Amino acid sequence: MTLISNVLNGDTTSNHNRNNISLPVDISSLSISSLSDYHVFDYSAKDLQREQVIDLLDQQGFIPDELIEYEVNWFYNSLGIDDLFFSKEKPEMVANLINSLYASKLDSYIKLNLYKSPEHVTSEKERLQQQLDKSEDDSKGKRKGVHKCFNIKNKIFKDPGTNHAILMESNSDGKTNSRDLLSFPAYELDTEVDNLFLDNKLKPCPRLLSFWSPESELKLTFIYDTQFPEPPDIDGHGTYITPEQLANGDIDSISDLTLSTMSSIENKKLYGRLLNLVQEREGPIIKTAHSVENKDEIRLLVAYKRFTTKNYYSSLNSLFHYYKLRPSKFYVESFNLSKATNVIIFSIYLNKSQQCPSLLPHDLELSIKQIEREASLLYTIPNHSFIKVFEQRQFSPQEAIYAHIGSIFINHFINRLGSDYNNLLNALNPKANDTCTLEIITNFKKKLRNETFTQIMINNCLMKHYKIVSKLYKNFAETHYYQNVNENIEATLSYKRLSKLEPFQNDQEFEAYLNKFLPNDSPDLLILQTLNLFNKSILKTNFFFTRKVAISFRLDPKIIMPIIEYPEIPYGIFFIIGSTFKGFHIRFRDIARGGIRIVCSRTQDIFDVNSKSVIDENYQLAATQQKKNKDLPEGGSKGVILLNPGLIDKAETFIAFTQYIDALIDILIQDPLKENYIDLLDKEEILFLGPDEGSAGFVNWATQHARKRGCPWWKSFLTGKSQSLGGIPHDKYGMTSIGVRSYVEKIYDTLNLWKSKIAKFQTGGPDGDLGSNEILLSSDNEVYVGILDGSGVLCDPKGIDKDELKRLASFRKTVSNFDLSKLSKLGFFVSIDDMDIMLPNGTIVANGTTFRNIFHTQIFKFVDHVDLFVPCGGRPNSINLTNLNSFIDDKTGKSKIPYIVEGANLFITQPAKVALESHGCILFKDASANKGGVTSSSLEVLASLALDDNDFVNKFIGSEVNKTTTKLYNNYVNEVQQKIRFNAQQEFTQLWKVNQATGIPISEVSNTLSSTINKLNDDLVASEELWLNDIKLRNYLLLNKIIPNLLIEVAGPKKILENIPEAYLKVLLSSYLASSFVYANGIDVNIGKFLEFIGELRRDADNIVKL
């Protein structure tokens, strides 16, 4: 059975078994004490080892003889180190540690000149002995004073080739009479723990024990290799252990062997229940427990999936430092829940008596409660841009994260152009064919966008004006913090801090405050004003959730998108920030659909370029989708996830994708397992998403995750999923390519080119969806002369062997796998990794990647002519006014390429398209040609909505056992393909007709056609006339013209109209009427003709009514 079948038939083991266990929220009864939770290990050879260490130190001679025994006893007895450590270490390692600590003391005495020695004391040994003589012995025989007086930094003792290491560090300044934690820096080696061990994907997660000595501020961290039992042999990504076993503490099979030996049964139960909770929702589990036996002890527990965040250990320790708390013990344990899931649990003990009461602003429990809340913020963003002001306590943790997110928002949405650019544009008033002026304006705009208000400048401004940022944060918090009726908000530290701040009462007070403290020509004004706009644009957010994986905001685009830059204001924007990415989702209608694109950057430089263009690219992609979707019920949308520099492998992109999706869902539904949020939009929203570059392999997960989160629309949430989930894979059935090919073939039909030899160039290779199917569907008259993809450039002016290309396309392999023996003497392949190679015509290629990136502008150096160019991949704006001259013949002024069908979205800028057409090119843009995939996705959504779960699973999807699809599914796929061809042919006919009659470039006619259909569609949606007052016509159209008969035969006409949501039925009806009318009657909507159109449909409805 399929996954969906399991759910329908009551078998929820695969995903919901964990929810069948009733897990207690209060786990305090399971935390006994640090001495009971972990059994005291009695190392019988400890005294013998101690004597061996003394002998070694005596032989080495670094420590005076009379101090050796004292130093050894102090190390063994006073630092809180348990016997397990001594049992694992050799005497030589212990001796090295003691020598290092002693050397640090001497260094501190000399550097800080803490103790003034009498004039007759001349040796360091005598001065040290004098100080020891002055020190008093405490009740346990431990000397006071001297061991507070040293400063040791960055000491790491590491065994090569293992995870075993010992880290020593103090963060005091060596002053014996100072306990001012405000002056102490955070422990620096915590970051090394993250980098070398916890976040290191090349090594398994180690076991960590950290001890803190209150007398000396010394922190010792011991790291050991983990050993796990042999895992059971299971298929897929199933867990190694059942929820019942976890709840009962039966966790030895997934635990480190040392933990299994040392941990009490209560501790194992506690860990097991945390592991169960980790699987319920994404994000960390954060709990506080009071030790039952030790009333002086409080325990904080944090559980999360490894590699879902970075630098979390050091970030959490910095949070303790901010609140001036000192954990006495810090354990890091890991558990192998499955082959793909390793869970880390932090177990942190704090003793009240070891804290500094005079410096704690409130009691320990209040501080811990605040840490419990803010640890989730640091999980989502462990590394932020305001560490300095955070460490100086000018920002609270929440304010620092708010400032970090705000600075990113400002960087992307600040109005860099302003009114001056608009005035310049109006003054110049360039014509569409004035490419020279348009190029100057474009370059000027690009310069303004890229070189003004940099991220560093924005960050510096917010740090400089941190008090204004704090006041704006209070405005944000007062608006969006959801207070539970049972919550005593006044008791929280964040509230007490905020209560000292006065928020801005209104915009007038905010502007007056700025004018009072900032010069009127300061660029800081616009930065701070944009941060205020951020506040005003937020309609809902998960910022205050205690469990989240990324921070999401629903923004009002009317407030933040100036019309001079964005002529059509979108319907909605989502803004998501995670630990490894920033993401956006833009949609142009309430009901809209589009893919999620993942953008990776190998280097910081590439990231900077991608970051500067991400909003414009997202907007343009969504706008293009809006144009493409003109004859579909959904409007256009697009999501973009931009990963941090260097994150390029699939595992990293998958984690970013999962966090993006989960954070979106946070503010699309009210999850009973999470807190409520303030919803200023006050309207249910549904997103329809799909695959795009980098995300095609992740849509199954997103579909299943939406179901797990309880989304009622999970079945239609994502298109492009596997057939076992009811999806229609675009690549398998060539859906996008069918649309592109329809335009190519209509050109051949119209211009009678079927018998002509067509020299063809293509970007996007045989490894991709569009590229592979374009090759496989190519006609016999087409001869490839150039093709490039992610691996490099393949070119042959004599023609590339098509059988070899089709072989690569069948196996989805890049052109780097092409059999080079099948090239002519003039043919070549250049890999992106090649350096300084010579091509057959004598050209020297210095850098293969650069050559690949610009080859589309250089191809005429290697081939005589190109008849047809079909971009099937590549970065947006690859052809623009700047490089347009590469495609224009200097002698004739004609386009060097006579026919272009733009399969890749946004490959050519709109001004460049118009310019190419003005030079004689016949060009069909992406919004027209690249419609096959969106049409397929729309009909995939319709099938999931039209059929109930039982019919959808058993009649549409069928059994997964024999891996075959149902007859209904196969017939439906065929109908989808026919629909793609029909729509493409209709649009081509109308575009060609208008172009030939008016001379208007096809690229502009395409935009006009899209806007005409969309405008009529919007008008029909806004009107209730047909929907409410002409039910006979409405149902006739839905059941005879719009909804595929294949689906109606399964569900029945009455039931199918009940299954599909009313809002979706409305846009189904309006989009059909609008597109059918415009395709038949042209872009000039005549009300008389429209009435005739409706009248004819009414007459048809009178003759045939199914309901």
Residues annotated as catalytic are 638
Name the residue among 249, 253, 174, 168 with its Cα closest to residue 212: 168
The dihedral through the CA atoms of 448, 454, 457, 462 has a sign that is: positive
| Long-range Cβ pairs for the range 65-74 (8 Å, 24+) | 66/129, 67/102, 67/128, 67/129, 67/132, 70/132, 70/143, 71/98, 71/101, 71/102, 72/98, 74/142, 74/143, 74/147
- Pairing assessment for the beta strands 581-587 and 572-577 based on DSSP bridges: antiparallel
Q: Mention every residue, 6+ apart, whose C-beta is less than 8 A from residue 804.
A: 818, 819, 822
Q: Is 446 exposed, middle or buried (0-12, 13-18, 19+ CB in 10 A)?
A: middle
Is residue 705 within a helix (H) or strand (E), and if so which, with residue range?
A: helix 699-708
Output the six-digit token pair for 638.
């697009």
Cβ 450 vs Cβ 387: under 8 Å: no
Compute the distance between CA of residue 778 and CA of residue 758 in angstroms, rounded to an integer: 11
Q: Is 1044 exposed, middle or buried (0-12, 13-18, 19+ CB in 10 A)?
A: middle
Specify the residue for token string 């319907």: 571
Compute the distance between CA of residue 644 and CA of residue 653 in angstroms, rounded to an integer: 10
The dihedral through the CA atoms of 725, 726, 731, 732 has a sign that is: positive
In angstroms, the Cα distances linking 604 to 493, 611, 851, 876 are 38, 10, 20, 19
In angstroms, the Cα distances linking 1096 to 527, 573, 1021, 1090, 1091 are 58, 40, 20, 10, 9
- Pairing assessment for the beta strands 207-213 and 165-170 based on DSSP bridges: unpaired
Residue type, 945: L
Query: In this structure, how many other beta carbons lie within 10 angstroms of the beta carbon of residue 1024?
Result: 10
- Pairing assessment for the beta strands 758-763 and 782-789 based on DSSP bridges: parallel
Compute the distance between CA of residue 440 and CA of residue 434 in angstroms, rounded to an integer: 10
Specify the residue for token string 């801090």: 497
- Pairing assessment for the beta strands 792-795 and 285-290 based on DSSP bridges: unpaired
Q: Residue 502 carries which DSSP code? A: P
Name the residue among 195, 189, 198, 162 with its Cα closest to residue 305: 198
C-alpha 650, offset from chain centre: 12
C-alpha 149, offset from chain centre: 47
Compute the distance between CA of residue 284 and CA of residue 305 in angstroms, rounded to an integer: 8
- Pairing assessment for the beta strands 329-336 and 207-213 based on DSSP bridges: antiparallel
In angstroms, the Cα distances linking 945 to 950, 1034, 1063 are 12, 18, 12
Q: What angle do CA 732, 737, 739 make, to 5 degrees?
A: 125
- Helix (H/G/I), strand (E/B), else coil: 7: helix
Cβ 589 vs Cβ 571: under 8 Å: yes
Output the six-digit token pair for 685.
């929203």
Compute the distance between CA of residue 880 and CA of residue 1047 in angstroms, rounded to an integer: 45
The dihedral through the CA atoms of 904, 906, 908, 913 has a sign that is: positive
Compute the distance between CA of residue 219 and CA of residue 766 in angstroms, rounded to an integer: 56
Name the residue among 730, 734, 702 with its Cα closest to residue 718: 702
Output the six-digit token pair for 421.
């650019």
